[in-house]
Amino acid sequence: MSAELKRALLERCRTMEIPLVGVAPIDRWEEPPFEPWIPEEFWPQAVYPEARSVVVIGLPITLPALETTPSIWYRELYRTVNILLDQYTYRISNFLNDRGFPSVFVPRDGYADVQALLKNPVAFFSHRHAAYLAGLGTFGVNNVLLTKEYGPRVRFGSLFTAAELPADPLLDDDLCTRCMRCVQICPAQAIDDRDYPAGITNRSACTAYSAVLAKRGLSPCGVCIKVCPVGEDRKLFDRMDPSIYSRGEGATNEELHRSWEHVRSYGRK
């Protein structure tokens, strides 16, 4: 168990400005924390038999850009974060390879395009479950992982390594408040709170809606992560009250809605 190697790894991540990093030993996949759990062929030790630990990193999705979704602004943010996730996990795996520990990055998504997902909306490895097992957060009713720092507004990347790194503890506190905002606002009616915490949304409905947005150059959707009240990022951006997203009687948020509509009406197919 290399505490020294983990320290060096965390320092490397710090210099790369990666805010969230966690380590999950592979045997955690063998002890399902809830049911149904991920089928065995999706476990890291099945995908890469030499794996002993999974290192997971998380990068934030900046709330003011997400608020404009569906929009070119959020789409570009999503693409930027995706590129960084792949580059960082690739570089960290090489950092470990250079020190004699076979390691390999896993692409942050792992599908060709939305047409592939319409056939089968599943990838060969689940980053949100890896992030959960690496102690970075807990599942929300919205089917994604919530973190203290950014709620669900965070994307994850993982790498498999043969190094036996010290594990991070799982989070004890359940972060989801079950406010059901994500259930109510989902434009595809794909979220059912009865699935919680197994994390099974109506994948076909969610993917079909994403395909509609993709045709207009406006995917992904992301509304279910926009409205989540969890996350310290809401304080930074002065967005503590997620009811600002609906337009009601006497609403004081007209200025925000006008700015979001402006962005939404440009750059689309």
What DSSP line would sit under 39-104, residue for residue? PGGGSHHHHSTT--EEEEEEEEPPHHHHTT-SSHHHHHHHHHHHHHHHHHHHHHHHHHHHTT--EE
Give the one residue of 16, 72, 86, 109 binding ligand B12; rule: CB under 6 A: 109
Contact segment (CB under 6 A) with ligand B12 among 3-11, 109-117, 230-238, 252-260 equals 109-117
Q: Which is nearer to ligand B12, 89 or 101 (CB)?
A: 89
Q: Which is nearer to ligand B12, 51 or 221 (CB)?
A: 221
DSSP for residue 16:
T
- CB proximity list for 269: less than 8 A, separation 6 or greater: 215, 216, 217, 218
Say how far apart CA 29 and CA 113 lie, in whole Å. 28
Q: Which residue is nearest to ligand B12 (CB)?
A: 222
79-98 residues in contact with ligand B12 (CB under 6 A) are: none
Q: Which is nearer to ligand B12, 96 or 183 (CB)?
A: 183
Q: Which two tokens stand for residue 202?
A: 């109506």
Strands in the chain per DSSP E: 20-25, 53-60, 103-106, 138-139, 145-146, 154-161
DSSP for residue 155:
E
Of the candidates 268, 236, 261, the residue with the CA atom closest to the CA atom of residue 247? 261
First to last CA, the chain: 52
- Rule CB under 6 A: say whether 199 interacts with ligand B12: yes
Contact segment (CB under 6 A) with ligand B12 among 10-18, 95-103, 171-179, 192-200 equals 192-200
Of the candidates 163, 150, 148, the residue with the CA atom closest to the CA atom of residue 98? 163
**What size, in residues, is the chain?**
269
Q: Which is nearer to ligand B12, 163 or 221 (CB)?
A: 221
- Rule CB under 6 A: say whether 125 interacts with ligand B12: yes
Please report, as a single letter, which amino acid is at residue 104. V
- CB of 206: closest distance to ligand B12 in angstroms? 4
129-188 residues in contact with ligand B12 (CB under 6 A) are: 142-145, 152, 154-156
Give the one residue of 19, 121, 187, 229 binding ligand B12; rule: CB under 6 A: 121
17-46 residues in contact with ligand B12 (CB under 6 A) are: 36-39, 42
- CB of 114: closest distance to ligand B12 in angstroms? 7
Binding to ligand B12 by CB under 6 A, coded x per residue (else -) over 43-82, reads -----------------------------------x----
- Using DSSP, state whether 233 is helix, strand or coil: helix
Give the one residue of 83, 116, 200, 236 binding ligand B12; rule: CB under 6 A: 200
- Rule CB under 6 A: say whether 228 interacts with ligand B12: no
Contacts to ligand B12 by CB under 6 A: 36-39, 42, 78, 108-111, 117, 121-123, 125-128, 142-145, 152, 154-156, 191, 198-201, 203, 206-207, 210, 220-222, 224-225
